[in-house]
Amino acid sequence: MKVSIPGGFALLLLGAGGVHAQQASRLQVGAPVPATLAADATLRYALDLPKDHFVAGRVDQDGVDATVTITDPAGKNVVKAARVGRGGPETFAFATDAAGRYLIEVTPATAGKGGALRVQLTRSEPVATTPAGKVDQAAAQLYEDTPGAVVGVINGGKLTFVKGYGAADLTWAMPFTAGTPTNIGSSSKQFTGFAIALLASRGKLSMNDDVRKHIPELKDFGKTITVRNLLTHTTGYREFINTLLIEGRQVLQGDYIAPDEVIKVINRQPTLQNEPGAEFNYNNSAFALATILVERVTGRPFAEWMRDEVFLPLGMTKTWVRAHPGQIIPRRSAGYVAGEGGFREVQDLHGSMGAGGIYTTPGDVAKWMGNLKTGKLGGPAVIKELTTSFVLNDGKPTNYGYGVSLDTNRGLRRWQHGGNDVAHSSTFVYYPDLDAGYVVFSNYQGVPGGIARVAADAFFGQHMTAPETATTGAAVDVPAATLERYVGKYEMTTLGGMLMTVEMEDGQLRLQLPGQPALPLRPTSMIDFEVVGAPARITFNAAADGAVDTITFHQDGEHSGKRVVETAAAVDLTDYTGRYYSEELETFYDMRVEDGQLVIRHRRFGPAVLTHTSGDSFSGTLPVNLVVFRRDAQGKVIGFDAGNGRARDIAFKKVSG
């Protein structure tokens, strides 16, 4: 049975368990079709489509956790959606590269578990050709009953395009709009950097001041750590949020972090992680200290001073520093994560002020971008300070100013930053040579990661070189044999030894980060992939013979990783069992062998499996990504050093076992 859909193309139901033929007549754009997915069945729907056609839809998982796969006429995967879990909608969207039959397949995400669902096509139309239309299609998977996003395009300090998609608050069915204040996470750092530079320009402090001049209770490590080191991630301090995770705090589940805990974490640190100015190590501790510094210098609360001295003078009336997750921000977006039964609302991160915590709108950011050009507030010298790369002790530039990443994108100079809280995420991009840019703010990190890329290409592609492929969502065709070469485990040498796993499922690569769900990798070239659902990219560095021994992970800078070659050499895991104690964190860990694997436990989390990488080194999942055991002169294990990238070399001593 065929049913016509917009554009005159045919949709038909193929034979499948759990769906009867008469249901095909109801499967059309705008009409959800109830169905029952049997535990061992596959629902298959076919779309006969022309080239350059766009389709979007959703599968509402009323009683089953389902996986949605779209294949093209050649049988290659175009989309695989399996991110939300039972109870929420699995959404999909794709554009056709060729005319022919495209299959929509719905299968149980868990073998042997079926249930009720509804299948719906929401859009079927030609691929958009206008910038606004391209962004609309990139955001087509955001619905009124899903978390959402807002996209703003700015030119000359004015909004030239802005549109909200999805919901800002699911409880009250409040839509995302141009005026919805949204948590921009670490994109807030540029405002903190500007505040310090502004105070320096007014003679209230010097960038070369020892931080302890303003915060004397900070521990003296015998090295001068300057105010400039704070704003450039070059202090050598432990990252306090990551440190508290290792301590056992359930930070991502809403555990309270007091504003002064950053000082306590640093003061318990026995030594610096690196010489000040010697290493760029992305670090929220320093920006949290910067807020304390502002308060000491001005005698006023940071949030109040920022509003009176930065936001209101620029006309940013819908921008706030949220000093505490309980602070009310009128008509703000709530944050969401995927959970059993659908989406779950979560609190913002405690203790994030300065490093994050700013709520704003695209309209207010347009005014901020205008000041980046004019320097009306602060003057050109302050803007230059903010956007000049720090140079490490060895003479290498970090390509990072005071809370601003500095790079070149497709031939255009770019000042940019990404941000993530527990749920919210943001992309901030400004092209100084164009006096233009764009932002994408969302309240769910599962929002399609390609929206920002599409916005950049659609509105600024004419100014760029070497345009990227797949801007409308169609995948680059990377041969399966090439994808197989990328599969493996990679130890991130600049992220504290964190282990990243690249796996392949049903012909698609997925990236598994410690403690996080696997996210699909979408190719943008033969070696470059974007992480779907996160503001990150990964590049596979292929040698002349095609072997891939290293990768580059692009998020808040460029991070190198090397392939882990797992050997068959036997390791006596019982050497590592026992109880360990960290004097610095005042916390215990237990190591046990369970089912042939080394397992780490804490009283507030666990068990978590540790994977042997080499020697006495093991990788794991958050909160402990790296464990390196220490032995005495007789070869007996006496302790280990733990780390998770931004906090590292935290010593634990074996106390029993």
pLDDT digit string, tens, across residues 383-401: 999 999 999 999 999 999 9
Mean pLDDT (whole number) for 43-54: 93
* Matching CATH number, 305-463, of 3.30.9.10, 3.40.50.2000, 3.90.1150.10, 3.40.710.10: 3.40.710.10
Mean pLDDT (whole number) for 83-99: 85
Binning the chain into helix, strand and coil, the percentages to the nearest 5 are 20, 35, 45
Rounded CA separation 307/294 (Å): 13
For residue 474, pLDDT beyond 70: no
Mean pLDDT (whole number) for 307-335: 96
Kindly indicate the confidence band of residue 338, based on its pLDDT and cuts at 50, 70 and 90.
confident
Q: Kindly report the average pLDDT of the chain as a whole number.
A: 89
Identical topology for domains 480-563 and 573-656: yes
Between 329 and 504, the higher pLDDT residue: 329
For residue 644, pLDDT beyond 90: no
Three-class DSSP category at 382: helix
Listed in sequence order, the residues at least 6 apart from 636 whose beta carbon sits closer than 8 Å to its beta carbon are: none
Residue 526 in tokens: 């033969």
Which pLDDT score, from 0 to 100, does residue 514 have?
62
Where are the chain's structural domains?
Answer: 1-127, 305-463, 480-563, 573-656
Mean pLDDT (whole number) for 441-446: 91
Mean pLDDT (whole number) for 561-585: 85
Q: Are 464 and 455 in contact (CB under 8 A)?
A: no
Rounded CA separation 434/597 (Å): 55
Rounded CA separation 233/41 (Å): 52
Kindly indicate the confidence band of residue 416, based on its pLDDT and cuts at 50, 70 and 90.
very high
Per mean pLDDT, which range of 188-197, 212-221, 483-492 is the poorest?
483-492
Question: In the CATH hierarchy, which fold is given to the domain comprising 573-656?
Answer: Lipocalin (2.40.128)
Rounded CA separation 345/356 (Å): 19
Question: In the CATH hierarchy, which fold is given to the domain comprising 1-127?
Answer: Jelly Rolls (2.60.120)
Listed in sequence order, the residues at least 6 apart from 392 whose beta carbon sits closer than 8 Å to its beta carbon are: 234, 277, 278, 279, 280, 398
Rounded CA separation 76/96 (Å): 12
Per mean pLDDT, which range of 192-201, 443-452, 555-564 is the poorest?
555-564
CB atoms within 10 A of CB 68: 25
Which pLDDT score, from 0 to 100, does residue 470 have?
41
For residue 10, pLDDT beyond 50: no
For residue 507, pLDDT beyond 80: no
Which pLDDT score, from 0 to 100, does residue 216 have?
98
Kindly indicate the confidence band of residue 523, based on its pLDDT and cuts at 50, 70 and 90.
confident
* pLDDT tens digits for range 591-630: 999 999 999 999 998 799 998 888 999 988 878 988 999 9
For residue 144, pLDDT beyond 90: yes
Q: Supply angle C-alpha 518, 521, 522, rounded to 5.
A: 150
- Residue 146 pairs with which residues in a beta bridge? none
Residue type, 8: G
Rounded CA separation 450/460 (Å): 15
* pLDDT tens digits for range 200-259: 999 999 999 999 999 999 999 999 999 999 999 999 999 999 999 999 999 888 899 988
Token pair 């766009």 in the structure block, residue = 54
- Residue 407 pairs with which residues in a beta bridge? 414
Mean pLDDT (whole number) for 447-476: 75
Rounded CA separation 391/385 (Å): 13
Percent of the chain with pLDDT over 90: 66
Question: In the CATH hierarchy, which fold is given to the domain comprising 480-563?
Answer: Lipocalin (2.40.128)
Per mean pLDDT, which range of 162-176, 182-196, 520-534, 567-581 is the poorest?
520-534
Which pLDDT score, from 0 to 100, does residue 40 have?
87
Mean pLDDT (whole number) for 457-468: 85
Which pLDDT score, from 0 to 100, does residue 79 have?
80
